[in-house]
A and B are shown apart, each in its own frame.
Chain A
Amino acid sequence: MTTQISEPAADTAPDKPGRPPGTARSPRYRTTWRKAFKRDWQLYTLVIVPLLFFLVFRYAPMLGNVIAFRKFVPGGSIYGETWVGLRYVKMFINDPNFWEVFGNTMALGALSLVFTFPLPIVLALLLNEVRSRYFKRFVQTVSYLPHFLSIVIVAGMVMQLVSLEGTVNQVVRALGGEAVSFIQDPSWFRTIYVSSEVWQTVGWGTILYLAALTTIDSQLYEAARIDGANRWQQTWHVTLPGIRPTMITLLILNIGTFMAVGFEKVLLLYNPLTYPTADVISTYLYRVGLVSNNFSYAAAIGLFESVIGLTLILSANAISRRTVGTSLW
């Protein structure tokens, strides 16, 4: 019996214990809380510590956002002394720096989305056409590697490559150009950021697509061939529709993280000279809040950022559910 269990059936859908798959919660089978506690009290005790984790480290900070509406006085309560209403919201609406970092956030978010969303699809399709499984696995293994690096290492590598004597400038000189001080030049920040983002994420991003590709029914390809479809038409009419649910799921998730553009990476890569293009909402609030100790103002900015993020993901999900029928929930 044990051997049977240690090898779960490969192709069956995940079993939903307790109820047949696909059916909604049975309305007839309702237990009262008292009965449930009596039967499952051991399960409920297990949940206490993890639940405490969520309440303390995830939900308490959400409530902690009240400091965005309270005035903090050094030495006073960390949650502020007096209510000031929307004072800090008005403050950032009138703050020209805020609009600059808002624009930078949008630009970096949009550029990252434009490049890091489609490129894994392209790479997955190319990998899918490779016949030799060894070559395919070799390419995959290498392309996943950057995903496992600390952001600090990635930033370090980027700095070395684009330094005045780094490889990039050697290429520039070899092509007859003048060496560029990339890391100090605001006009280059977006390029550096997005390319390092692509370098780090593109390979790993192919995993889910490659998995989705294996689930496409081979009979569809046969049928398409009988209808006279060439390779390109097969890709367009069979492969791409086959991975569409995966594409949409990942697109929604990407849109949800649009505002949270790589805070850590920007923090590691930028410097005062590149603030004009590099400073994003999260780095600005980091400096305002933790470097200059303006907790309330920074919390207001952070709350604004989180609310936009939540709105984006909710609307992307709703739009996707209405238009293409795929959604996260």
Chain B
Amino acid sequence: MTTDPSRVMERLDKPAGGRRTSLDDSPGYRAFRVVNTIVLLGVVAVTLYPFVNIVAQSFSSEVYIRTGQVNLVPRGFNLDTYKLVASDPAFWNSYLNTVIYTVTATAISIVLTTIYAYVLSKHRLKGRGLLVGIAVFTMFFNGGLIPNYVLVNGLGMTNTIWAIVLPNAISVFNLLVMKAFFESLPTELEEAAAIDGLNTYGILLRIVLPLSKAVLATMVLFYAVANWNSWFQAFLYLDRADLFPVTVYLRNMIAGATSATSVGAVETNAVAISANIKAVTMVLTVLPIIAVYPFIQRYFVSGVMLGAVKQ
């Protein structure tokens, strides 16, 4: 098991079995490879099209969008919609909320996940099996929407940041990935540190964590992206517009309502928000993710594989 992302990628790049023989040049296989390349290019095109379409709309004039003339390139190019959205204080407020929620929730999640995973990685610990079971069982059975809602309300967390950052603080999947990583660290090192007089907390802070930067970075990414993208917790537990994260702001905009939730708002009513404003908001919401995506993607891949190796 390796944790260095580039090594994982190298392994993934290797063709299975290293089959390179004259059989590769049989006419049938050559034909297959041409078809295969075309199919994969098709997959790429279909995957990218919605993004290109939204970006094109965000730079276009509303009138061209309404008449269905914007597909791959902007028509009636302008930056006015960007200026309009950027001048809306509610948008920036929700953007700031998203940043605050993401940072806080990620920090809490990392601390809780790390310490629980560290304890679970100690095989000599009595009761460890029970601790693993407590976590894993929640993957297959959960309390359900209503009891969760009642609980969060009962704890008085409605309309506070805690309703967003606490109820999903530990992801069991991430926990298992981290546990697998800690188990792969050599025990001798911790034993040596113990002989040198470090206690458990010291070993965790000064020996284990410095060796775990790769997996910690992966976990930060997993949690941060999940928090950035989440909307339902906020939708459920926040009713003040000034607390909304940008995803809820966007959802309300797409649903055709300006602030309060209105189920079944009809498209033709006066508050219907024009397509280019929606497009700009969507672009601005995904922008941070798209911007860092090429750099973080391989960490995700190795993280997922680390979790898979365990099974």
| A in complex with B | yes
Within 8 A of A (CB), among B220-247: 225, 228-232, 236, 247
For chain A, residues 260 to 291, give those with C-beta under 8 angstroms from any C-beta of chain B: 264, 267-268, 271-272, 282, 285-286, 289-291
Of residues B3, B146, B183, B248, which shows the largest number of chain A Cβ atoms within 10 Å of its Cβ? B146
Known contacts A5-B189, A10-B7, A150-B228; decide if A49 and B183 are in contact (CB<8 Å).
Answer: no
Interface size class of B (residues with CB under 8 A): 35 or more
Q: Choose the segment among A91-99, A106-114, A125-133, A185-193 that binds chain B (4+ C-beta atoms closer than 8 Å).
A: A125-133
Q: A160-B53, A272-B263, A306-B142 are in contact. Are A170 and B47 (CB under 8 A)?
A: no
Which residue on chain A has the smallest CB distance to residue B35? A126
**Interface residue B100 (Cβ < 8 Å from any Cβ of A):** no
Query: Bound state CA distance, A210 and B250, in angstroms?
Result: 35
As a 0/1 sequence over residues 1 to 36 of chain B, the CB contacts with chain A under 8 angstroms (1 = contact) are 111100101011111111101010010110011001
Q: Are B286 and A43 in contact (CB under 8 A)?
A: no
Evaluate contact between B13 and A141: CB separation under 8 angstroms: no
For the complex formed, measure the closest distance between the CB of A194 and the CB atoms of chain B, giving whole angstroms. Answer: 14
Contact B254 A152 (CB under 8 A): yes
Q: Report whether over half of chain B's contact residues are helix, strand or loop; otherwise say mixed.
A: helix
Is B308 positioned at the interface, with any CB of A under 8 Å from its CB?
A: yes
Minimum distance in angstroms from A98 CB to a CB of chain B:
15
> What's the interface size class on A, roughly?
35 or more
Judge if B184 is at the interface, Cβ distance under 8 Å.
Answer: yes
A116 an interface residue at 8 Å Cβ cutoff?
no
Q: Which residues of B contact A302 (CB under 8 A)?
A: 144-147
Q: Determine which residue in A57, A139, A207, A286 has the highest number of CB atoms from chain B within 10 A of its CB, and name it.
A: A57
Q: How far, in angstroms, from A227 to B150 measured CA to CA in the complex?
A: 65
When the two chains form their complex, are residues A43 and B119 in contact, meaning their CB atoms are under 8 A apart? yes
- Interface residue A231 (Cβ < 8 Å from any Cβ of B): yes
Q: Across the interface, name the chain B residue whose C-beta is closest to A218.
A: B17
Closest to A170 in B: B68
Chain A contacts for B67, CB-based, 8 A: 165
Contact B282 A153 (CB under 8 A): yes
Query: Do B282 and A133 touch (CB < 8 A)?
Result: no
A300 to B283, CA, bound (A): 40
17 cross-chain CB contacts under 8 A: A40-B126, A46-B204, A47-B115, A60-B143, A64-B148, A64-B150, A67-B150, A135-B37, A142-B47, A144-B301, A145-B48, A152-B254, A230-B28, A239-B16, A249-B311, A256-B140, A295-B146
